[in-house]
Amino acid sequence: MTGAPALPSPADPFTADDAAGRPPLVAHWFLPTYGDSRGLVGGGHGMAATAAGGSRPASLGYLTQVARAAETVGFEAALTPAGLWCEDAWLTTAMLAGASERLKFLVAFRPGLLSPTLAAQMAATFQRHSGGRLLLNVVTGGEPAEQRAYGDFLSKDDRYRRGGEFLQVVRGLWRGETVDLAGEHVQVEGARLETVPDPVPPVYFGGSSPLAGEVAAEHCDVYLTWGEPPAQVAEKIEWVRGLAAARGRTVRFGIRLHVITRDTSDAAWAQAETLLAGIPQGMIDRVQANLARSESEGQRRMRALHSGGTARAADLEVSPNLWAGVGLVRGGAGTALVGSHTEVADRIAEYHALGIDEFVLSGHPHLEEAYWVGEGVLPQLQRRGLWAPPAGSPAASSAPAAIPFTGR
């Protein structure tokens, strides 16, 4: 991309040396359970139930295609969102588990909308029937209107406090304990599971407000952040790591990013330009007005990365290869890595050097972009020693095809 800062090469120190002694990074994909399209699809945190949808309905057949593609190219798991604007995550992933072989499912759910005992039991059942393919993403909810639609009238801070009590119960049950808790928001008596999950699902948790950090430090295995510029991500890592250390705990870190990657940088930015050109300004104005009412600190930080509209995709490059254009029409994660396969791999390596262990990626359409990332970016990361295909995946056993009669 013309005018962009010089990009590090694959041989730069942060692509290899800083990874010494650390496990390879983990790459996940995303299931568009609200519909998919060749253009940017609305929806996401803070959006109305009718805001999502695309030219490809979120049918079980299409989602199976996306899941199988993610499985084939070597993604570890697929995140499924939660909210009124998408299909239910538990039911959808339970069905997809039977249509896939190895792919894990990072199921987003909201504490408080079901009892912690039932959630712990559901997780244990999912683990048994899927062969241990469940990961849990706890979403406390940052939009009061949507929470009230579910019958939840707690304030934002109280939702975080309830989330902490909820996870206290769930963790105890997964350890095989009998749990009694008379908390401020959660009360259980004599709670116990007949069978604990094996393995215990790791808990993913995100949030940028002070109470979010406290809950994450106390209860989560992986702290998730949306895709902010590296310096801001580094600050979050230091913040949560310090809170966890004060409790004698360590946590891993993950990041949620969209991706637009092509064989050349020019081709990737041309695709970003095409996506931007397909968004009417009226739609941007309506979405931004809605997101301005969000209580989410993370959403405020996403909106601060763009001005609500621009004539050129390049004007929304807020950090090398980090594009804020997705956030014009989508709540939640609003940034994308844009560039050639090498450039996108460079940026992932940079975040990994900061301390990011897991990357939850997506792109429009999710089926085709899974192959662009899986066949273009992941092999680059593998050659640098930063990523390895999951055991049992086709990517782990693939080898260049031999051509008959050539002597090779």
The model's confidence at residue 407, banded by pLDDT at 50, 70 and 90, is very low
At 20-79, the pLDDT tens digits run: 568 899 999 999 999 999 988 765 554 444 444 568 999 999 999 999 999 999 999 999
Residue 236 has pLDDT above 90, yes or no: yes
At 200-227, the pLDDT tens digits run: 999 999 999 999 999 999 999 999 998 9
At 245-266, the pLDDT tens digits run: 999 999 999 999 999 999 999 9
Percent above pLDDT 70 for the chain:
82
* Bridge partners, 360 (sequence order): 28, 256
pLDDT recorded at residue 313 = 80
pLDDT recorded at residue 53 = 54
- Give the tokens for residue 273: 């330009």
Residue 329 has pLDDT above 80, yes or no: no
**Region of poorest pLDDT, from 13-22, 59-68, 136-145:** 13-22
Q: What is the pTM of this model?
A: 0.88
The model's confidence at residue 303, banded by pLDDT at 50, 70 and 90, is low
Mean pLDDT of all residues in 7-14: 37
Residue 400 has pLDDT above 80, yes or no: no
Rounded to 5°, angle at Cα 306 from 302 and 311: 145
**Residue scoring higher pLDDT (68 or 306):** 68
Mean pLDDT of all residues in 100-113: 94
- Give the tokens for residue 90: 């538990």
Secondary structure of the chain in the HEC alphabet?
Answer: CCCCCCCCCCCCHHHCHHHCCCCCEEEEEECCCCCECCCCCCCCCCCCCCCCCCCECCCHHHHHHHHHHHHHHCCCEEEECCCCCCCCHHHHHHHHHCCCCCCEEEEEECCCCCCHHHHHHHHHHHHHHHCCCEEEEECCCCCHHHHHHCCCCCCHHHHHHHHHHHHHHHHHHHCCCCEEEECCCCEEEEECCCCCCCCCCCEEEECCCHHHHHHHHHHCCEEEEECCCHHHHHHHHHHHHHHHHHCCCCCEEEEEEEEEEECCHHHHHHHHHHHHHCCCHHHHHHHHHHHCCCCCHHHHHHHCCCCCCCCCHHHHEEECCEECHHHHCCCCCCCEEEEEHHHHHHHHHHHHHHCCCEEEEECCCHHHHHHHHHHHHHHHHHHCCCECCCCCCHHHHCCCCCCCCCCC
What is the rounded CA–CA span in Å between residue 153 and residue 149? Answer: 9
Q: Which domains does the chain have, with CATH numbers?
A: 13-391 (3.20.20.30)
What is the rounded CA–CA span in Å between residue 113 and residue 117? Answer: 12
What is the rounded CA–CA span in Å between residue 21 and residue 281? Answer: 48
Residue 370 has pLDDT above 80, yes or no: yes
pLDDT recorded at residue 15 = 42
176: left (phi over 0), alpha (psi -120 to 50) or beta: left
CA 67 to chain centre: 15
What is the rounded CA–CA span in Å between residue 387 and residue 390? Answer: 9
- Give the tokens for residue 41: 């699809």
Percent above pLDDT 90 for the chain:
68
Residue 306 has pLDDT above 70, yes or no: no
pLDDT recorded at residue 145 = 84
Mean pLDDT of all residues in 148-171: 95
Mean pLDDT of all residues in 388-395: 88
The answer for residues whose C-beta is within 8 angstroms of residue 296's C-beta and 6 or more apart is: 45, 46, 142, 143, 208
Residue 11 has pLDDT above 50, yes or no: no
Residue 5 has pLDDT above 50, yes or no: no
Residue written as tokens 């304990």?
Answer: 177
Mean pLDDT of all residues in 338-362: 98
